[in-house]
C-alpha cells in the first residue's frame, strides 16, 4: 500500500472556518469531533457527537444528534494577550489531516500585538481503538524572551445545537487534583452522558480548577524561557448510556479515562494507528492519476466512511452528515443503503450486515408508520434515528413570508426507500451468501417491505398502479407510476417471493399475492425512442432553459425563481431518477435504453442533490463514456472538496463520500452485480493509468488491479466472475489483457503457482 | 443642571469586553441590553433581559433571568472580508455612552487586510419612553474606492444563559417584506416572548431574508462608492407576557414595532431624551470636585439606577445586577431595600412605594417559607424572583474536589432581610407620610415580619435570644445573637407594635407578644471600650493578619487559604456587620460608640462584599472622618468603574450604584433620618467644593446645595428639618453659613421672597 495522502489547509480564512471544521473532522464511528480551532472564533461552530445519541429539545422540535459539551476549546493567553489568529500577525499557518492516522496537526507562527513571536503547535485525534477516547496536545514556544503562558481548557457545556440545549448538568468534579468529570443527562431523562478529561502539564506549571456557568476548566500557567516549550496533553473520554440512565456509567467512564491518561498521547496514537492501518489494508482504493487530487479524494472519502460508520453498535446507523455536523439532524436516510452500504459490503461485509440489522431491529417503527398511514407491512421512516419511528417533522419550517407550513412530502410519499432497503438486502445476500441472515433478518425484511407494496397499489383498469409517490427526483412530487419506484417495488416483491419460495414455508396467501402483484403491476416501458417516462405526466410538462441553474448545481437556485408547485409542473429534475433506476437494476435495461435515457434526462437535471452527479457518472461509465463519467466523478468529489466555502458547513455529504468509492469501483472498474453474478468491465478514464482495490465477494478476498489494458485479479480462493459477460473461474493471481477481441486471460505467467 | 458626563472606552481590549458590555449597558427598567459589539467576539457575552422574565431550565437548575434572543448582532462583510476589530488594523476606536440620552456610540476607523480603509459608526439606545423599543443604527463608509457592504442582522435565538435554553421557538415570520418577527415560549409554557424588528436601508440595497438554526435574518448588500455611506437603521420591539401565555401578544408587538419604525431612530431618540431629561431633573447629584471622575461616578450610578428599576411593574423588583447581566441569576436581595430604595424614596417616592408593594404582593411566598421552616409570619426569600418563593438553590454548587454539596446558609439563616424590609417600610412611612400605604401594605408588612421574629426566638434563662442566624457578614455563619440581626429585629417588632397601636385595632395578643419580645429580647450592649460583640462568640475567636486579603478586597482570596469553616472561627469579616448596624439605626448609638466600633471592626473586615466599603464610608463621614470617608466612597465607585477587567463581567453591582448616591447624600451631605426627623450635617470631603441634589421629603421637593461653609436649601413649601441637631423651619430659599458656633441661618438675603 502506498502512503496515504493528507488534506492540507494552507491558509487561515474565516470564510472557510466551518468547511474545514467539517472536512478535517475526527471520528471512529462512535465519536465524531469537528475540526474547530483550539481558540474560539465567533464564526466557527464547534461540534462533538456520539452515534445514536439523539434527543428532542421540546415540543415542536425535531429529534437531533446532540452536540455535546466541548473538549476542543483552549483559551490561550500569551503574556497577557488573548491568542487569536485574527489578531497579531500570522507568520505561518499549516493545518493537515493525516488520513492514515486520523491525526490533525496545526502549526502556527504568530507575532503578538506586543511584537513577540510564538510557535504554537497542536494536534489531536480520536482513537480508532478506544471508542470514547479523544486526545489533544499543544506546545507553545516563545521566541523573543520568556513569556507567561496561560491555558484554560476542560469541559465546556455551554455548547448547544444552535441554541437548543439537550443536556442538564448533573455534577462537575475534579478527582485526584487531575481528572475532570462532567455528568449530564438528556432533558428527557433517557440518557446519561459523561465526559472526563485530564491535562498533563509540567510540574513547574501552576494549576487550578474552576466550575462556573457550565464550564469545568483547568487553568494552567507557566513562565517559559525563549526557545523552551510549554506543553499540555489532554486525554478525554466521552460516553453515553443510550438505552436509559445508568448511575454507574460515570465511574466506568473515569476508569477508561485513567487508562488513557496512563497510556498517554503517543501510545494511544500508535495503538490507534495500528487499528487504522488494518482497516485501510482491507479498504483502500489506489489510483495512479495525472491529477493528484484523485487519490486524495478517494482517501478522503474512505477516511470519512470509516469515521461515520458505527461499527460498534447495530442500533445505530450512518447519519446523512456522519458525525461531522448537525445537518439533517443526524438522521439516517436511504443514502445509507444505496450509497454507503455497497462500500462496506465489499470491504467488510459484517458492517453491511449490521447496517441491515439496524433496519431489522427497527421493523416495529416501520410497522407503526405503515399502520398509521393505513398500509400494511413495513414502511420505514424517511428519516430515522434511534427509536425507529419517523423523525421527519410533519410540517416543514414555516414559510416566513406567508406563515404557512407545508407538509413534508418526503415522509408522506417518498416511499422508494422501502424498496431500496430490500435492494440492499438482496445485494447483501448475493455478495455474501450469508444464508443464516437471509433466512431470518433478510427474509423478514424482504417480506415486510413487500407487504407494504402489496397494500400500496391501486387498481386501474385491471392493472395495479402506485399513485401519489415521490421518486428520488424531489422536484417532482405526488405523481403516479414513478418508474423508479414501480420498478424497485416490483423488484422488492420479486425478491420476497423468491425468498418465501426458497424457505419452503406454506403459502398463507403471500405467494399468490406476490404473483398477482408481479403480473399486474404497471411498469412504464420505454417508448419508441427508448426513453422511459419518469411518471405518468412527465412527458406532458414543458421544459425550460436550465443552463443558469445547472451552473449553480447544488444551490437550489431554481427555487428562487419558481415556486415548488411551478417546478413540479415542468420537466426539471433535482437529481437522477430514471437514471438512478438504470443504475440500480442494470440487468433490466439494454445498453441502448440506458444511453437514450441518460441523454434525455441528464440535460433536464439540475443536480441540486449531492446524490445526483455520481450516479450519472457511473451510468455514463457503463455506457463507455469515460470522459463524461470522469467529469461527473470529479464533480462528485468537489461536493465537499471543492472551493465553495459554505457547502459543507453543517457536515460532510456522507452519501457523496460513498459515491466517490462507487464511482471508482462500479464506474471505472466496471464492477456490477447482476442477478448474483459479479461482472468486471474495466474502463479507466484517460487521466488514470492504474486502479487497485480490495473487494470481498462470497467470502473470498479479491485484490483487483487494472490499467487501460490489463486486469490483474488476486484471490485467496477459487471464485467465478464475469469478464466481458463471459464466466471465468480464477484462483490465485490471474491477469487479463485487453485485445482487439476483448479481455483475454493471459497464459499462466506465474509458473511458481 | 450642568451637562451630564459620559463614559468613554478609548481602547479596544478583549480583556475588557465583558466589563464594558456591562458598564455601557442600555436599559429602561423594563428592558436591558448589554453593550456588546455589533460584530461577534467569542470572548464577549451578549445579553438582553426583560424585568420579571424568569425561567428555570430544568430540574436541579435555578430560576434565572432569561437571556433573550439577540438583536444587537450584525454580521458585517466589507468587500468579502469578515469585519472584526481583532483583524485588519484599527486606526481609531472610540466608544462613548452618553448618560443624558442613554445613547451608545462607537466610531471605528479600520483598515482591512486588503488594505482598504473604512469608517464604521454605530449607535444604539433603549427608549426611556417606549419600554419595548430598542433602536440601533450603523453607517459604513469606504475610503479607498467603492466597496461591497454586506450586513446580516435580525433576531438570533441561538442565545442562551451559558448554555441553558429557556425558550422554544414557535414561529418566525417576515411581514410586508420588512417586519421580522420571532415568537418564543418559555419551556414551562408560562410566558410568550415576542421580538420584532425592521431594518431600514437604501432602496438601492439588495435585501433578502433567511430563517435557519433559530436565526431570522435580513441580509442586505450594497455597493458603495468611496466617501459615500451604507446605512442601516434597525428598530426592534421586545415584549413578554409574564403572567401566562397570550396568543394576541405577537400581534400587539408588531403594532408597537410598526409605530416605532414609522417614527424612526432620530424621533424615538428625541422622545426618549425628553423623558430622560425630566428624570435627571428630579434625581441628579452634581458635584464640583478636583477629580473629574467623581461627577462621572455619580452620573454613572444614577444612569444605572434608572436603567435597572422596573418602574412600570410592581410585580418586579430590582435584580442584584440590574438588567445588565446574569450574575446572581437576576434575583432580588436585601440590596433593594437597604441600598437602592433610599435613592428612589428621596427622588421618586412612588417608585419606593412600588418596590415595597413588590414585597407586599409576595407575602404569600414569605408565609410559605416561614411555615416550611416551622416559623410564623413572613420570612421573605433570601433570593426573590417573580413567584415570591425562595429562589436560592437549597444546595450550593458542588465542591468539585470533594463532591459534597453544602446547604446554602444564607437562605437557611440570613434572616435579617426580614427586618431590613420592615426598616425600609418605616423609612418610607417617615419620608412620605403616606398614611394610606402605611395603614394597609405598610402595617401588614410590619406585622407579618414582626410575627416572624416573635416566633423566631429561643428563651435562655428568661431572656429571648435569636440563635443560628447569619448577619450581613457572611464569613461568620450560624451564630447566636448577632447584634445586627437582633437590633434590627427589635426595631422591626417595635415598628409593628407602634403601627398596631396607631391602628387602634383590638389586641388579639399581638400587642402583648410584641411588648414581651421588646422587653426580653437580648441586645448585645457595648462593652467597656464601647465595642459591641458581633455575636456571642466573636470576641473569643483569634485574629490573623488580613493585610494580603484586604489588598485584594472583593476577590474572596482568603478562601483560597482557609476553608469556610476555618474562616468562621476567626475574627474575619467579609463586610460591614456591626458597622452596618450603626449605619441602619444611627439614633441608637452615640458618636463615641460609633467611632469605637468602626475602629474595632474595620481592620477585621476584608471588604470582600461590594456592599461593605460604602457603608464604612458613610459611618466614617458621620464620625467626621472626611478623608477616610472619601477613600471608602472612591473605592465604592471603583467596584464597577475601576480598572479590574473582570469584576463586572456578569453585570453591574446594583447595590454599589445605590451606595454611590448614599455616600454622597447620607455621607457627605450628612442627610440622616432619625425617628422621623430629617437631619442635615454637611461635611464635604477636601476634594469637593460644592454638592447639589434634589431631595423629596414629606411631599415637598427640596433642592439642597452645599459648599464647605454654606448650605442652601430651596423648598417648594414649608418644611422642618434639623441642622446641627436644631430644628429649623424653612420655606423658599434658605442659606446657612458655617460659623465657629456651627451652622447659622443667614439673614434674609433674598428680599424679593
A136–chain B Cβ distance below 8 A for any pair: no
Average confidence (pLDDT) over A173-192: 96
Does position B172 have pLDDT exceeding 90, yes or no? Answer: yes
Instruction: Return the half-sphere exposure (C-beta side, CA atoms, 13 A cut-off) of residue B242.
Output: 19
| Residue B334 marked as a ligand binder | yes
Give the residue carrying C-alpha cell 464620625. B623
CA neighbor of B442 nearest in space, from B508, B502, B368: B502
Give the residue carrying C-alpha cell 425630566. B278
Q: For A665-702, how does the pLDDT look when each residue is reduced to its tens digit (9 = 90+)? A: 999 999 999 989 999 999 999 999 999 999 999 999 99
B42 touches B17 (CB < 8 A): no
Cβ-Cβ contacts under 8 Å for B632 (sequence gap 6 or more)? B613, B614, B616, B617, B620, B663
Does position A752 have pLDDT exceeding 70, yes or no? Answer: no
Does position B399 have pLDDT exceeding 90, yes or no? Answer: no
* Chain A residues with CB-CB distance to B171 below 8 A: 398, 403
Cβ-Cβ contacts under 8 Å for B201 (sequence gap 6 or more)? B207, B220, B222, B230, B231, B232, B233
Phi, psi at A372, each rounded to 5°: -60, -35
Given B412, B465, B474, B628, which residue is catalytic? B474
Chain-chain contact of B158 with A162 (C-beta, under 8 angstroms): yes
Structure-model confidence comparison of residues A402 and B469, the more confident one: B469
Chain-chain contact of A401 with B174 (C-beta, under 8 angstroms): yes
Does position B687 have pLDDT exceeding 50, yes or no? Answer: yes
Average confidence (pLDDT) over B98-109: 98
Local confidence band at A402 (pLDDT 50, 70, 90 cut-offs): confident
B556–chain A Cβ distance below 8 A for any pair: no
Domain coordinates in residue numbering, chain A = 6-282, 286-668, 669-752
* Chain A residues with CB-CB distance to B169 below 8 A: 60
pLDDT at B301 (0 to 100): 98
- Pick B82's closest partner by Cβ from A15, A40, A401: A15
Chain-chain contact of A168 with B58 (C-beta, under 8 angstroms): yes
Name the least confident of A734-738, B391-395, B679-683, B707-711: B391-395
* Chain B residues with CB-CB distance to A171 below 8 A: 398, 403
Distance from CA of B271 to the nearest CA of A (A): 32
Q: For B48-78, how does the pLDDT look when each residue is reduced to its tens digit (9 = 90+)? A: 999 999 999 988 899 999 999 999 999 999 9
Chain-chain contact of A169 with B43 (C-beta, under 8 angstroms): no
Model-level pTM? 0.95
B249 touches B238 (CB < 8 A): no
> ipTM surpassing 0.90, yes or no?
yes
Chain-chain contact of B87 with A82 (C-beta, under 8 angstroms): no
Q: For A621-646, how does the pLDDT look when each residue is reduced to its tens digit (9 = 90+)? A: 999 999 999 999 999 999 999 999 99
Chain-chain contact of A173 with B400 (C-beta, under 8 angstroms): yes
Does position B750 have pLDDT exceeding 70, yes or no? Answer: no
Averaged pLDDT of chain B: 95
Please give the CATH topology (third level) of the domain spanning B6-282.
Beta-galactosidase; Chain A, domain 5 (2.70.98)
Chain-chain contact of A157 with B163 (C-beta, under 8 angstroms): yes
pLDDT at B751 (0 to 100): 46
> Which class does domain A286-668 fall in?
mainly alpha
Local confidence band at B746 (pLDDT 50, 70, 90 cut-offs): confident
| Residue B335 marked as a ligand binder | yes
Q: For B139-166, how does the pLDDT look when each residue is reduced to its tens digit (9 = 90+)? A: 999 999 999 999 999 999 999 999 999 9
For the question of residue B474 being annotated catalytic, the response is yes
- For domain A669-752, which CATH number applies: 1.10.3210.10, 3.30.499.10, 3.40.50.2300, 2.60.420.10? 2.60.420.10
Give the residue from chain B lying closest to A187, CA to CA. Answer: B58
As a whole number of angstroms, the distance between CA A664 and CA A300 comes to 13
Q: For A242-286, how does the pLDDT look when each residue is reduced to its tens digit (9 = 90+)? A: 999 998 999 999 999 999 999 999 999 999 999 999 999 999 999
Local confidence band at A149 (pLDDT 50, 70, 90 cut-offs): very high
Q: For A453-494, how does the pLDDT look when each residue is reduced to its tens digit (9 = 90+)? A: 999 999 999 999 999 999 999 999 999 999 999 999 999 999
In A, residues 395-424, which contact B (CB 8 Å cutoff)?
397-398, 400-401, 403
B190–chain A Cβ distance below 8 A for any pair: no
B271 touches B127 (CB < 8 A): yes
Give the residue from chain A lying closest to B42, CA to CA. Answer: A42
Does position A430 have pLDDT exceeding 90, yes or no? Answer: yes
Local confidence band at B323 (pLDDT 50, 70, 90 cut-offs): very high
Give the residue from chain B lying closest to A328, CA to CA. Answer: B213
Average confidence (pLDDT) over A92-113: 98
Local confidence band at B393 (pLDDT 50, 70, 90 cut-offs): confident
Given A39, A75, A474, A477, which residue is catalytic? A474
Chain-chain contact of B162 with A158 (C-beta, under 8 angstroms): yes
Local confidence band at B748 (pLDDT 50, 70, 90 cut-offs): low
Instruction: Return the half-sphere exposure (C-beta side, CA atoms, 13 A cut-off) of residue A619.
Output: 30
How many A/B residue pairs have CB atoms within 8 Å?
113
Q: Is B89 helix (H, G, I), strand (E, B) or coil?
A: strand
Cβ-Cβ contacts under 8 Å for B131 (sequence gap 6 or more)? B28, B29, B30, B31, B312
Local confidence band at B753 (pLDDT 50, 70, 90 cut-offs): very low
Q: What does each C-alpha distance from B251 to B130, B209, B268, B347 come to in angstroms?
A: 17, 20, 21, 37
pLDDT at B395 (0 to 100): 75
B351 touches B309 (CB < 8 A): yes
Average confidence (pLDDT) over B629-649: 96
Q: For A489-541, how does the pLDDT look when each residue is reduced to its tens digit (9 = 90+)? A: 999 999 999 999 998 878 889 999 999 999 999 999 999 999 999 999 999 99
Q: Is A672 helix (H, G, I), strand (E, B) or coil?
A: strand
Q: For B185-219, how does the pLDDT look when each residue is reduced to its tens digit (9 = 90+)? A: 999 999 999 999 999 999 999 999 999 999 999 99
| Residue A335 marked as a ligand binder | yes
Give the residue from chain A lying closest to B46, CA to CA. Answer: A42
Does position A750 have pLDDT exceeding 60, yes or no? Answer: no
A714–chain B Cβ distance below 8 A for any pair: no
Q: What does each C-alpha distance from A134 to A215, B347, B421, B515 come to in angstroms?
A: 18, 60, 54, 70
As a whole number of angstroms, the distance between CA A336 and CA B614 comes to 68
Domain A6-282 matches domain A669-752 at the CATH topology level: no
Q: For A432-448, how does the pLDDT look when each residue is reduced to its tens digit (9 = 90+)? A: 999 999 999 999 999 99
What residues are paired with B678 via a beta bridge? B673
Averaged pLDDT of chain A: 95
* Chain A residues with CB-CB distance to B396 below 8 A: none
Amino acid at each position: 500500500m502506498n502512503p496515504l495522502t493528507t488534506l492540507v489547509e494552507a491558509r487561515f480564512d474565516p470564510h472557510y472556518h466551518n468547511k474545514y471544521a467539517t472536512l478535517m473532522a475526527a471520528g471512529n464511528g462512535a465519536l465524531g469531533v469537528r475540526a474547530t480551532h483550539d481558540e474560539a472564533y465567533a464564526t466557527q461552530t464547534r461540534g462533538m457527537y456520539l452515534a445514536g445519541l439523539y434527543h428532542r429539545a421540546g415540543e415542536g422540535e425535531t429529534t437531533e444528534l446532540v452536540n455535546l459539551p466541548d473538549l476542543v476549546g483552549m483559551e490561550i493567553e500569551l503574556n497577557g494577550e488573548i491568542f487569536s489568529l485574527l489578531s497579531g500577525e500570522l507568520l505561518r499557518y499549516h493545518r493537515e489531516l493525516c488520513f492514515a492516522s486520523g491525526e490533525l496537526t496545526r502549526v502556527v507562527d504568530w507575532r503578538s500585538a506586543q511584537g513577540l513571536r510564538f510557535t504554537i503547535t497542536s494536534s489531536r485525534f480520536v482513537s480508532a481503538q478506544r471508542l470514547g477516547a479523544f486526545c489533544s496536545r499543544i506546545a507553545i514556544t516563545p521566541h523573543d524572551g520568556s513569556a507567561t503562558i496561560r491555558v484554560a481548557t476542560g469541559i465546556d457545556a455551554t455548547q448547544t445545537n444552535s441554541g437548543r440545549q439537550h443536556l442538564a448538568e448533573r455534577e462537575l468534579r475534579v478527582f485526584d487534583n487531575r481528572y475532570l468529570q462532567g455528568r449530564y443527562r438528556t432533558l428527557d431523562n433517557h440518557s446519561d452522558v459523561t465526559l472526563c478529561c485530564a491535562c498533563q502539564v509540567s510540574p513547574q506549571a501552576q494549576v487550578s480548577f474552576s466550575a462556573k456557568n457550565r464550564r469545568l476548566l483547568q487553568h494552567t500557567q507557566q513562565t517559559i524561557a525563549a526557545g523552551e516549550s510549554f506543553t499540555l496533553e489532554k486525554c478525554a473520554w466521552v460516553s453515553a448510556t443510550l438505552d436509559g440512565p445508568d448511575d454507574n456509567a460515570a465511574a466506568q467512564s473515569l476508569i477508561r479515562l485513567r487508562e488513557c491518561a496512563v497510556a498517554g498521547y503517543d501510545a494511544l496514537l500508535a495503538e490507534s494507528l495500528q487499528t487504522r492501518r488494518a482497516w485501510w489494508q482491507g479498504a483502500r482504493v489506489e489510483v495512479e492519476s495525472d491529477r493528484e487530487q484523485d487519490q486524495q479524494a478517494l482517501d478522503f472519502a474512505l477516511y470519512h466512511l470509516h469515521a461515520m460508520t458505527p461499527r460498534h453498535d447495530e442500533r445505530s446507523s450512518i447519519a446523512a452528515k456522519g458525525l461531522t455536523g448537525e445537518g439533517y439532524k443526524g438522521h439516517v436516510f436511504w443514502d445509507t443503503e444505496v450509497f454507503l452500504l455497497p462500500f462496506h459490503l465489499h470491504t467488510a461485509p459484517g458492517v453491511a450486515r449490521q447496517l441491515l440489522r439496524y433496519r431489522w431491529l427497527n421493523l416495529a417503527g416501520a410497522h407503526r408508520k405503515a399502520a398509521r398511514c393505513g398500509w400494511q407491512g413495513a414502511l420505514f421512516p424517511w428519516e430515522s434515528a434511534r427509536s425507529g419511528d419517523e423523525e421527519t417533522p410533519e410540517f416543514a419550517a414555516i414559510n416566513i413570508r406567508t406563515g404557512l407550513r407545508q407538509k413534508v412530502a418526503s415522509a408522506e410519499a417518498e416511499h422508494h426507500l422501502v424498496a431500496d432497503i430490500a435492494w440492499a438486502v438482496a445485494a447483501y445476500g448475493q455478495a455474501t451468501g450469508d444464508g443464516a441472515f437471509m433466512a431470518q433478518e433478510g427474509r423478514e425484511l424482504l417480506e415486510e417491505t413487500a407487504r407494504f407494496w402489496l397494500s400500496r397499489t391501486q387498481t386501474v383498469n385491471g392493472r395495479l398502479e402506485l399513485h401519489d409517490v415521490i421518486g428520488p427526483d424531489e422536484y417532482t412530487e405526488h405523481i403516479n407510476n414513478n418508474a423508479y419506484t414501480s420498478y424497485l417495488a416490483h423488484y422488492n416483491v420479486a425478491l420476497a417471493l423468491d425468498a418465501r419460495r426458497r424457505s419452503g414455508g406454506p403459502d398463507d396467501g403471500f405467494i399468490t399475492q406476490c404473483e398477482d402483484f408481479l403480473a399486474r403491476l404497471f411498469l412504464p416501458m420505454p417508448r419508441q425512442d427508448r426513453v422511459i417516462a419518469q411518471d405518468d405526466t412527465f412527458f406532458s410538462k414543458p421544459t425550460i432553459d436550465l443552463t443558469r441553474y445547472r451552473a449553480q448545481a447544488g444551490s437550489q437556485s431554481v427555487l428562487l425563481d419558481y415556486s415548488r408547485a411551478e417546478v413540479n409542473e415542468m420537466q426539471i429534475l433535482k437529481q437522477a431518477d430514471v437514471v438512478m433506476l438504470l443504475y440500480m437494476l442494470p440487468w433490466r435495461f439494454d445498453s441502448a435504453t440506458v444511453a437514450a435515457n441518460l441523454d434525455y434526462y441528464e440535460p433536464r437535471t439540475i443536480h441540486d442533490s449531492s446524490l445526483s452527479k455520481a450516479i450519472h457518472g457511473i451510468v455514463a461509465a457503463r455506457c463507455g463514456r469515460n470522459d463524461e463519467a470522469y467529469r461527473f466523478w470529479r464533480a462528485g468529489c468537489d461536493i465537499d472538496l471543492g472551493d465553495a466555502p459554505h457547502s459543507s458547513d453543517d457536515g460532510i455529504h456522507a452519501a457523496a463520500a460513498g459515491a466517490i468509492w462507487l464511482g471508482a469501483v462500479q464506474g471505472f472498474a466496471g464492477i456490477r452485480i447482476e442477478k448474483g453474478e459479479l461482472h468486471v468491465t474495466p474502463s479507466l478514464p484517460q487521466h488514470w493509468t492504474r486502479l487497485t482495490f480490495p473487494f470481498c465477494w462470497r467470502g473470498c478476498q479479491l485484490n483487483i488491479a487494472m490499467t487501460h489494458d490489463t486486469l490483474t485479479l488476486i484471490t485467496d480462493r477459487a471464485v467465478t466472475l464475469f469478464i466481458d459477460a463471459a464466466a471465468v473461474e480464477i484462483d490465485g493471481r490471474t491477469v487479463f489483457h485487453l485485445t482487439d477481441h476483448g479481455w483475454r486471460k493471459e497464459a499462466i505467467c506465474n509458473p511458481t503457482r
